[in-house]
Amino acid sequence: MAEDLKLIDGTKKAQYESLIPQIKALVEGESDLVANLANIAAALKEQFGWFWVGFYLVKNEVLVLGPFQGPVACTRITKNRGVCGSSWSTAKTLIVPDVAVFPGHIACSSLSKSEIVVPIIVNEKVVGVLDVDSEQLNNFDTIDQQYLEAIIALISFN
Ligand code: SME
């Protein structure tokens, strides 16, 4: 597909509905994982303008920073640590309306106020997470969860 994104205004749901076929088209002709994760991070950042969006991948039993859009971030997160490490150990999507009250939250930036982390599960094992941070409190809900999980399902990790 052409390397430009059609951005739309509208409800969160409408924005995801517009974006998902475009992400599908971006990744379906490409087998390289890093290339696809990089484009997904860029597409989400462009459409939603979130503070930070990116991936951490499990390498030697540690989450290591992968492709992302936004300010520089911590590079390694151990299991159970922070929102990302908790999503990894529980294999569940975590929605954090106020990061200040999440026990053990890792503050890569004091500007981040709310967060959603979606685990990437392959053959029943978490192989990474998608992490999205917002400068606004309470910016993520189950609509984000539903659509971000659908976006993760488009990625081939083989
Ligand atoms: N806040 C995350 C760390 C990653 S950064 O937000 C990019 C956490 O608590 O796991």
**20 — phi, psi (to 5°)?**
-60, -45
Counting from 1 in the atom list of ligand 1, the atom nearest the Cα of 117 is: 10
Amino acid at 14: A
Rounded to an integer, what distance in angstroms lies between the CA atom of residue 96 and that of residue 138?
7
Is 92:80 a contact under the CB 8 Å cutoff?
Answer: no
Q: Whose CA is nearest to atom 6 of ligand 1?
A: 108
Rounded to an integer, what distance in angstroms lies between the CA atom of residue 9 and that of residue 18?
10
Report how far ligand 1's centroid is from the alpha carbon of 88 (Å). 12
Tokens representing 13? 């749901």
Question: Would you write out the chain's pLDDT as a tens digit for each of its 158 residues?
Answer: 557 899 999 999 999 999 999 999 999 989 999 999 999 999 999 999 999 999 999 999 999 999 999 999 999 999 999 999 999 999 999 999 999 999 999 998 899 999 999 999 999 999 999 999 999 999 999 999 999 999 999 998 86
Report how far ligand 1's centroid is from the alpha carbon of 24 (Å). 26
Residue 131 Cβ inside 6 Å of ligand 1? The answer reads yes
Rounded to an integer, what distance in angstroms lies between the CA atom of residue 124 and that of residue 132?
23
Rounded to an integer, what distance in angstroms lies between the CA atom of residue 93 and that of residue 120?
9
Classified as helix, coil or strand, 145 is helix
Report how far ligand 1's centroid is from the alpha carbon of 28 (Å). 29
Classified as helix, coil or strand, 59 is strand
Is 67:117 a contact under the CB 8 Å cutoff?
Answer: no
12-153 carries CATH number 3.90.1150.10: no
Q: Where are the domains of the chain?
A: 12-153
Q: Whose CA is nearest to atom 2 of ligand 1?
A: 106
Ligand 1 site-directed mutation target among 118, 133, 140, most atoms within 8 Å of CB: 133
